[in-house]
């Protein structure tokens, strides 16, 4: 049956009422698929993340100076090999 001007108003009202009724269930529907071992949701969802809470500085460096020097030497050697290979390919 085509929707004409006479039936369009009540159809829109029924659609709006059903959308409003279903929107109240959105929080419970979102929790239905949660696993049992999932952490509980925070009550204050509008709070800001702690972006200024930084971890403490490390006591020791992440890479030891000897390892860092070795890596730098390997990178320099790789750069020299690449330069030589591109020079030979250009001839």
Query: Can you give the pLDDT at residue 30?
Result: 62
Structure-model confidence comparison of residues 31 and 62, the more confident one = 62
pLDDT at position 18: 81
Cα dihedral across residues 44, 48, 49, 54: positive or negative: negative
* Mean pLDDT to the nearest integer, 62-69: 91
**Nearest alpha carbon to residue 27 among 7, 41, 11, 48:** 41
Q: Given this model, what pLDDT does residue 5 score?
A: 56
């Amino acid at each position: 049956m085509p929707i004409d001007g006479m039936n369009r108003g009540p159809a829109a009202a029924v659609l709006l009422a059903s959308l409003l009724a279903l929107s109240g269930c959105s929080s419970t529907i979102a929790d239905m698929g949660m696993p049992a071992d999932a952490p509980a949701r925070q009550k204050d969802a509008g709070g800001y993340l702690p972006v200024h809470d930084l971890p403490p500085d490390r006591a020791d460096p992440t890479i030891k100076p000897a390892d860092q020097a070795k890596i730098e030497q390997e990178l320099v050697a790789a750069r020299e090999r690449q330069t030589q290979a591109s020079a030979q390919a250009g001839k």
